[in-house]
């Protein structure tokens, strides 16, 4: 009562129009409190936010500086809250009227991300459409990719020299697209090494990738009728730690002297260490990654490099699986749509006042 | 000269020199350091997963606090070990499929937003984008160059046609843009690697031998 009297005496104007609403398009657990700034905003310290839970007394839950008119409060979903906002100036407080009751809840749809949803449906639909046609037996054309033509030569060279082939999947996890593409290529390389009876070495940096790689190599040897030639020790776990992995592979390269090195998958700073060591041993090197920062090193130190999406296309081209061919075809059409969207959006952006960039937030 | 008396700095320095000796050729010192590095890294990994993940997140809540919902991830995890029993080793495909399915679902929307929507936003020709380059009148020129570069690079990664005719020309322009980008990335990364080398030399010459401060 004394404080209210003091406020009245010094004329500290409270904030008005306090409004509380559930934060839209979120996972729940937050209420936004908004208010009209006090007319004394320039001279005050800020605003205290008070909350009443299920009709109980108001308790302070936060403070925000002056010239700010909204506050996000962490809440428990399903509980009813009311809010008051108080102007703070030194020890003085001037309270607003309480807001209407509000309860937070999770939203089913994030309206702000509708554009991503539309893109997902569109691109996903295209890919499914082409996979369907590829499975029906429709021939889908994919242009030749330079690095792939070298695989046969590389395996043949290793066979003639009586030396092994080293296949490195990089540091990627099983969910990385580069790792998945690399596993597809590994399957085809393993078929060739099985046919030519060439030793294959596959060191791994991730336990799950190792498990999958092992299954793939074993399956490839079985598919070409050489299950007896499969050596379970040819696929092994080396190390998860980046530079320990690099040191281990460097050691293999210099001791085993592979005739061909495949560096295909996701790589980080160890890329140049591996590619340079491989080049120094005189091996043919075929690299492929979608790690943009590492591609320059592969381009300079390897004989063939699959750049970014070429790696994904290569896995489809080499395996000829309808699933992958359809996906690449769908991606090609997605690129056409993106290019068209770029041109149309630019024309609209340059010739009209329509806020076209808002569509791409 | 003020040589370090800390045994850990000595161990670290000797192992560093053993690894660096690879620059000359593969040798027993490098081989020893390589095997120690691999052993320590894998030992650390196992300890880390046991103490930081398995015990606090799975075993203690499940077996000591009775959080029975954790039986689901526990069972999925156990399926990985079926690989060692040939008769049921096919079960290993279940946790791998769950893991891949989960991450695919998580990554697809994030990738579309970060690598498609945002790139389109930054490439579209509008007055707002001209200004975002902070290059004055040159902002228009750079924006147009980037716009052409993105379209040509897209055509390079178009796999449904041979690179002949119009696509042949645009894809050649596209790969020039790609190579310019690689050149810039190469220089930038080499600079970063030089700073790592300087850090290692500072450690050897400063912390270990005390020759520099």
Domain assignments of chain B as residue spans, ordered by start: 124-213
Write the burial class of residue B173 (CB in 10 Å: 0-12 exposed, 13-18 middle, 19+ buried).
middle
Over 60: is that where the pLDDT of A5 sits? no
Window from A193-207, A228-242, A248-262, B107-121 with minimum mean pLDDT = B107-121
Q: Tell me which residue has tokens 């398009």.
A: A25
Of A123, A343, A357, Cβ closest to residue B121: A357
Residues A74-96 have pLDDT tens digits of 999 999 999 999 999 888 889 99
Q: Which of residues 281-320 of A touch B (CB under 8 A)?
A: 292-293, 295-297, 299-300, 307-310, 313
* B chain contacts of residue A215, beta-carbon cutoff 8 Å: 92
> Within an 8 Å CB–CB cutoff, is residue A341 touching chain B?
yes
Give the C-alpha separation, A189 to A212, whole Å.
15
The answer to whether the CB atoms of B129 and A357 lie below 8 A apart is yes
Alpha-carbon gap: B126 to the closest alpha carbon of chain A (Å)? 5
Smallest CA-to-CA distance from A74 within A112, A33, A118, A123 is with: A33
**Residue among B81, B159, B192 with most chain A CBs within 10 A, to mutate:** B159
Alpha-carbon gap: A29 to the closest alpha carbon of chain B (Å)? 21
**Percent of chain A with pLDDT strictly greater than 90:** 70
Residues A141-165 have pLDDT tens digits of 888 887 777 888 888 889 999 999 9
DSSP code string of chain B: ------HHHHHHHHHHHHHHGGGT---HHHHHHHHHHHHHHHHHHHHHIIIIIIIIIIIIIIIIS--GGGHHHHHHHHHHGGGGSGGGGGGGHHHHHHHHHHHHHHHHHHHIIIIIIHHHHHHS--HHHHHHT--TTHHHHHHHHHHHHHHHHHHHT--SS-S-HHHHHHHHHHHHHHHHHHHHHHHHHHHHHHHHHHHHHHIIIIIIT-S--
**Residue among B160, B165, B177, B193 with most chain A CBs within 10 A, to mutate:** B160
* B chain contacts of residue A120, beta-carbon cutoff 8 Å: 108-109, 112
The dihedrals phi and psi of A74, each to the nearest 5 degrees, come to -70, 130
**Residue among A25, A176, A240 with most chain B CBs within 10 A, to mutate:** A240
Q: Checking DSSP bridges between strand A260-266 and strand A165-170, what pairing results, if any?
A: parallel
> Within an 8 Å CB–CB cutoff, is residue B103 touching chain A?
yes
Of A241, A255, A342, Cβ closest to residue B120: A342
Q: How far apart are the first and last CA of chain B?
A: 10
Alpha-carbon gap: A32 to the closest alpha carbon of chain B (Å)? 26
Residue A204's CB is within 10 A of a number of other CB atoms, namely 25
- Chain B residue with CA closest to A350: the answer is B126
Give the C-alpha separation, A345 to A22, whole Å.
34
**Residue among A171, A175, A222, A294 with most chain B CBs within 10 A, to mutate:** A175
Give the C-alpha separation, A208 to B169, whole Å.
43
Residues A278-301 have pLDDT tens digits of 999 999 999 999 998 899 999 999
Q: What is the distance, to the nearest Å, from the Cα of residue A155 to the centroid of all Cα atoms in its chain?
A: 34
> Within an 8 Å CB–CB cutoff, is residue B22 touching chain A?
yes
The dihedrals phi and psi of B118, each to the nearest 5 degrees, come to -65, -35
| HSE-up of residue A227 (Cα within 13 Å, Cβ side) | 4
The answer to whether the CB atoms of B158 and A292 lie below 8 A apart is no
Residues of chain B with pLDDT under 50: none
What is the spatial order of strands in the sheet that A260-266 belongs to? A235-237, A200-204, A165-170, A260-266, A284-289, A304-307
Residues A8-62 have pLDDT tens digits of 555 788 999 999 999 998 889 999 999 999 998 898 999 999 999 988 999 999 9
What is the SS3 string spanning A4-36?
HHHHHHHCCCCCEEEEEEECCCCCCCEEEEEEE
Residue B89's CB is within 10 A of a number of other CB atoms, namely 14
- Chain B residue with CA closest to A337: the answer is B154
CB A120, CB B109: distance < 8 Å: yes
Alpha-carbon gap: B125 to the closest alpha carbon of chain A (Å)? 5
DSSP code string of A146-162: HHHHHHHHHHHHHHHHT
Q: What tokens appear for A194 in the block?
A: 């099985």
Give the ipTM.
0.85
Write the burial class of residue B70 (CB in 10 Å: 0-12 exposed, 13-18 middle, 19+ buried).
middle
The answer to whether the CB atoms of A116 and B40 lie below 8 A apart is no
Q: What is the mean pLDDT of residues A122-135?
A: 93
Window from A144-148, A166-170, A310-314 with minimum mean pLDDT = A144-148
Q: What tokens appear for A163 in the block?
A: 């030396």
β-strand partners of A306: A288
Over 50: is that where the pLDDT of A1 sits? no
> Within an 8 Å CB–CB cutoff, is residue B40 touching chain A?
yes
pLDDT interval class at A2 (50, 70, 90)? low
Residues B40-61 have pLDDT tens digits of 999 999 999 999 999 999 999 9
Mean pLDDT of chain A: 91
Domains and CATH numbers, chain A: 2-95 (2.60.40.10), 140-320 (3.40.50)
């Amino acid at each position: 009562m004394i404080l209210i009297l003091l406020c009245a005496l010094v004329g500290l104007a409270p904030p008005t129009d306090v409004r509380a609403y559930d934060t839209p398009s979120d996972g729940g657990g937050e209420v936004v409190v908004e208010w009209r700034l006090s007319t004394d905003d320039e001279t005050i310290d800020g605003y205290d936010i008070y909350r009443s839970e299920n009709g109980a007394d108001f308790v302070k839950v936060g403070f925000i500086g002056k010239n700010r008119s909204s506050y996000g409060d962490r809440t428990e979903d399903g509980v009813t809250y009311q809010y008051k906002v108080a102007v703070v100036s030194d020890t003085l407080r001037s309270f607003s009227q309480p807001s209407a009751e509000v309860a937070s809840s999770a939203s089913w749809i994030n309206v702000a991300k509708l554009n991503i949803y539309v893109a997902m449906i569109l691109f996903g639909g295209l890919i499914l459409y082409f996979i369907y046609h590829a499975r029906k037996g429709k021939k889908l054309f994919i242009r030749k990719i330079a690095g792939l033509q070298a695989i046969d030569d590389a395996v043949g060279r290793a066979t003639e020299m009586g030396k092994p082939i080293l296949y490195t999947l990089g540091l990627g996890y099983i969910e990385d697209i580069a790792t998945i593409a690399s596993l597809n290529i590994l399957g085809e390389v393993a078929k060739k090494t099985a046919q030519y009876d060439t030793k294959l070495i596959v060191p791994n940096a991730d336990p799950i990738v190792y498990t999958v790689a092992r299954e793939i190599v074993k399956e490839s040897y079985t598919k070409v009728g050489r299950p007896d030639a499969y050596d379970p020790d040819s696929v092994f776990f080396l190390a998860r730690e980046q530079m320990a992995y690099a040191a281990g592979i460097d050691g293999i390269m210099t001791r085993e002297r592979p005739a061909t090195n495949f560096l295909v998958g996701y790589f980080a700073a160890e890329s140049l260490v591996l590619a340079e060591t491989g080049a120094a041993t005189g091996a043919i090197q075929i690299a492929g990654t979608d790690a943009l920062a590492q591609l320059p090193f592969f381009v300079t130190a390897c004989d063939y490099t699959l750049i970014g999406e070429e790696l994904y296309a290569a896995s489809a081209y080499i395996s000829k699986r309808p699933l992958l061919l359809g996906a690449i075809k769908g991606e090609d059409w997605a690129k056409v749509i993106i290019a068209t969207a770029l041109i149309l959006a630019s024309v609209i952006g340059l010739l009209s006042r329509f806020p076209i960039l808002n569509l791409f937030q | 000269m003020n040589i370090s008396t800390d045994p850990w700095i000595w161990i670290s320095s000797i192992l560093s020199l053993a690894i660096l000796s690879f620059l000359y050729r593969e040798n027993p010192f490098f081989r020893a350091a390589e095997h120690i590095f691999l052993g320590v890294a894998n030992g650390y990994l196992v300890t880390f997963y046991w103490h930081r993940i398995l015990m606090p997140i799975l075993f203690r809540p499940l077996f000591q606090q009775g959080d029975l919902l954790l039986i689901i991830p526990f069972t999925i995890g156990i399926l990985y070990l079926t690989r060692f029993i040939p008769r049921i080793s096919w079960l290993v495909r279940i946790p791998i499929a769950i893991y891949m399915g989960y991450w695919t679902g998580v990554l697809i929307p994030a990738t579309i937003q970060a690598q498609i929507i945002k790139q389109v936003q930054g490439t579209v020709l509008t007055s707002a984008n001209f200004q975002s380059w902070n290059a004055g009148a040159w902002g228009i020129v750079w924006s147009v160059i980037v716009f052409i570069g993105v379209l040509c690079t897209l055509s390079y990664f178009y796999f449904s046609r041979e690179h002949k005719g119009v696509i042949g020309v645009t894809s050649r322009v596209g790969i020039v843009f790609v190579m310019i980008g690689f050149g810039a990335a190469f220089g930038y990364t080499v600079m970063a690697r030089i700073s790592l080398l300087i850090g290692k030399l500072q450690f050897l010459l400063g912390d270990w031998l005390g020759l520099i401060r």
